[in-house]
Amino acid sequence: MENLENTSHDLSNENSGGEKKHNKVSHSRHNRGHLIFLFLGVMIMSSFFGSIFGFIASGFGNKFFGGLEQRFPVFFHNQLNSNSPSVAKENPAVSREKIVEEDSAVIDVVKKASPAVVSIVISKDISKLQNNIFDPFGLFDNGSGLPDNSGSGSANQNQNNSTQNGTQKEKIGGGTGFIITEDGMIVTNKHVVSDTTADYTVVTNDGKEYPAKVLARDPVNDMAVIKIEGSNFPVLNFGDSNSLNIGQTVIAIGNSLGEFSNTVSKGIISGLKRNLTAGGGFGDSEKLTNIIQTDAAINPGNSGGPLLNIEGQVVGINVAMAQGAQNVGFALPISQVEKMINQIKATGKISIPYLGVRYIPIDASLQKQINLPFNYGVLVLRGQNITDFAVIPGSPADKAGIMENDVILEINGTKIDDKNSLTDLVSNANVGDEVTLKVWHKGSVKEIKVKLEERKN
């Protein structure tokens, strides 16, 4: 530009007649320089501010559209995949990831829980002559179509066809349990260890065998605690069975068929608060109330094993399966028996409070049949045998003056009905507690105080 200015000056001195023309040319060149400066300035400023606004906009846009994408994933998925059909399809990679996550959770539960799950072997001195006719599978299979106790499952039976005199030790059944204390306390079903003349051996997950002693059998629930000697055993923790939801994932581990130890099955909670009667092979039966139904496979031999939630906590004790059905199993809610388990931990025994009456529940049909003013409560009534007293002599109910044909309506202000049975309400109390009964006696309602005592058998 310095040369241009000098040249222009030289031309003006040489030819004054060309001054006008020279001024036009010089002015044109000068304007062109300003335009170039202006153009370059605009470009530089545009690039500068464009970069700034682009940076800001990109961050804001990502946040804004990212938020929209989270709120409307189907719309954005379809827009970004124009070749895909209008109906949104889940990304296969995401779907596989979900499956892997769920499988990983189950695998973790099994790895952590399995060392604390044990097999229980039931053996007994059997006459060699009886071995010819002994049917180990008949021990629990009643074939009645009712839900059956699942404590059967003895396998590899060494039946002896010899007719010689004498006895020999035979394995007659198997069940499952799980360790709850580091010094070897194990929870199982009462029906697994119900035979007082049998011997029980615990086989841990690593194959070690321990003789077991029965500490206590719960006379109300199908639960028992046995003990092996040792220390530093792995244990399982309890969850809250009261907070279970239908459809929730659960895992069962047990000694299936008495042969396949620590067999794992997975399912869901199919139902809650079920009531049923479980029968054994010798015509015995027991009523199970408020129990868990699951479609996780519970086979013979699984009795006493844990039903676990996805956190690996025990929410139930596997107890029975339905005969003639598929994937219909049952478990005792752990919250229902936790009190008894804690008693055994503390004292080595179970102390069950009892009232001492025989009764039948009152419903609308019974109310109409015998013209009662109430459709709830229990009617105190004797049994079929002459020794089946309505009120057991010397019992707390007898001492409090309860009589046959009385109707017990409430305990401590809670109505006795299909949701709150008399047995459950009494079991929730402690030995030595004084409870208040509301009783309909000979046409009038009165309150009676009763001090609960320990059940002896």
Q: What is the mean pLDDT of residues 378-389?
A: 89
Give the pLDDT of residue 103.
77
Give the pLDDT of residue 11.
37
Q: Are the C-beta atoms of residues 424 and 418 closer than 8 Å to each other? A: no
Give the pLDDT of residue 104.
83
- Predicted model pTM: 0.65
Q: In terms of pLDDT, which residue wins out, 17 or 37?
A: 37
Q: What is the mean pLDDT of residues 77-91?
A: 49
Q: Which residues contact 195 (CB under 8 A, 6 or more apart)?
A: 122, 124
CA 372 to chain centre: 41
**Cα separation, 14 vs 4, whole angstroms:** 16
- List the beta strands (DSSP E) in 129-248: 148-149, 167-179, 185-188, 199-203, 209-217, 224-227
Of the segments 18-27, 146-155, 272-281, 306-315, which one has the largest average pLDDT value?
Answer: 306-315
**Cα separation, 204 vs 416, whole angstroms:** 43
The pLDDT of residue 208 is above 90: yes
Q: Is 189 exposed, middle or buried (0-12, 13-18, 19+ CB in 10 A)?
A: buried
Give the pLDDT of residue 71.
52
Taking each helix axis as running N to C, give the angle between helix 19-71 and helix 2-14, from 0 to 180 degrees, rounded to the nearest 10. 160
Q: Are the C-beta atoms of residues 337 and 221 closer than 8 Å to each other? A: yes
Closest Cα partner for 341 from 332, 174, 279?
332
Find residue 202's DSSP bridge partners: 120, 210
**Cα separation, 446 vs 453, whole angstroms:** 22
Q: Are the C-beta atoms of residues 440 and 362 closer than 8 Å to each other? A: no
Q: At residue 354, what are phi and psi to the nearest 5 degrees?
A: -140, 160
Q: What is the mean pLDDT of residues 411-424?
A: 89
Which tokens in the block code for residue 185?
């306390």
pLDDT in tens, 21-75: 444 434 444 455 555 656 666 566 666 555 555 544 455 555 544 554 555 554 4
Q: What is the mean pLDDT of the chain?
A: 76
Q: Which residues contact 20 (CB under 8 A, 6 or more apart)?
A: none
- H helical segments located in 184-303: none
pLDDT tier, 447 (very low <50, low <70, confident <90, very high otherwise):
very high
Q: In terms of pLDDT, which residue wins out, 435 or 17?
A: 435
What are the chain's domains? Answer: 2-61 (no CATH), 95-156+167-346 (2.40.10.120), 353-454 (2.30.42.10)
pLDDT in tens, 325-381: 778 999 999 998 998 899 898 888 888 898 999 999 998 888 899 888 999 999 999
pLDDT tier, 229 (very low <50, low <70, confident <90, very high otherwise):
very high
Find residue 347's DSSP bridge partners: none
Give the pLDDT of residue 9.
38
Give the pLDDT of residue 141.
34
The pLDDT of residue 169 is above 90: no
User: What share of the chain has pLDDT > 70, as a percent?
Assistant: 67
Residue type, 60: F
Q: How many Cα atoms are found within 13 Å in the side-chain-facing hemisphere of 8?
A: 16
pLDDT in tens, 263-306: 999 999 999 988 877 655 444 556 788 899 999 988 888 899 99
Which tokens in the block code for residue 206?
């690593």
**Cα separation, 268 vs 265, whole angstroms:** 10
The answer to which of 57-66, 216-225, 407-416 has the lowest mean pLDDT is: 57-66
Which tokens in the block code for residue 143?
């074939």
CB contact burial 153-164 (16+ within 10 A = b; e otherwise): bbbebeebeeee
Give the pLDDT of residue 157.
40
Q: Which residues contact 396 (CB under 8 A, 6 or more apart)?
A: 354, 355, 356, 450, 451, 452, 453
Give the pLDDT of residue 7.
32
Q: Are the C-beta atoms of residues 289 and 421 closer than 8 Å to each other? A: yes
Q: Are the C-beta atoms of residues 330 and 291 closer than 8 Å to each other? A: yes
**Cα separation, 190 vs 408, whole angstroms:** 30
Closest Cα partner for 426 from 336, 337, 353, 340?
353
**Cα separation, 183 vs 99, whole angstroms:** 38
Give the pLDDT of residue 424.
83
The pLDDT of residue 20 is above 60: no
Closest Cα partner for 114 from 42, 199, 204, 54?
204
Dihedral sign for Cα atoms in the order 437, 439, 445, 448? negative
Q: Are the C-beta atoms of residues 256 and 316 closer than 8 Å to each other? A: no
Q: In terms of pLDDT, which residue wins out, 145 or 214?
A: 214
Q: How many Cα atoms are found within 13 Å in the side-chain-facing hemisphere of 35?
A: 6
The pLDDT of residue 135 is above 60: no
**Cα separation, 242 vs 112, whole angstroms:** 23
**What percentage of the chain's residues is helix, strand, coil (to nearest 5)?**
30, 30, 40
Active site residues: 191, 222, 303
Which tokens in the block code for residue 247?
């459809």
The pLDDT of residue 237 is above 60: yes
Which tokens in the block code for residue 276?
């049923």
Q: Tokens 């841990």 correspond to what residue?
A: 204
- What is the helix (H) or strand (E) element at residue 23, kind and residue range? helix 19-71
**Cα separation, 186 vs 177, whole angstroms:** 6
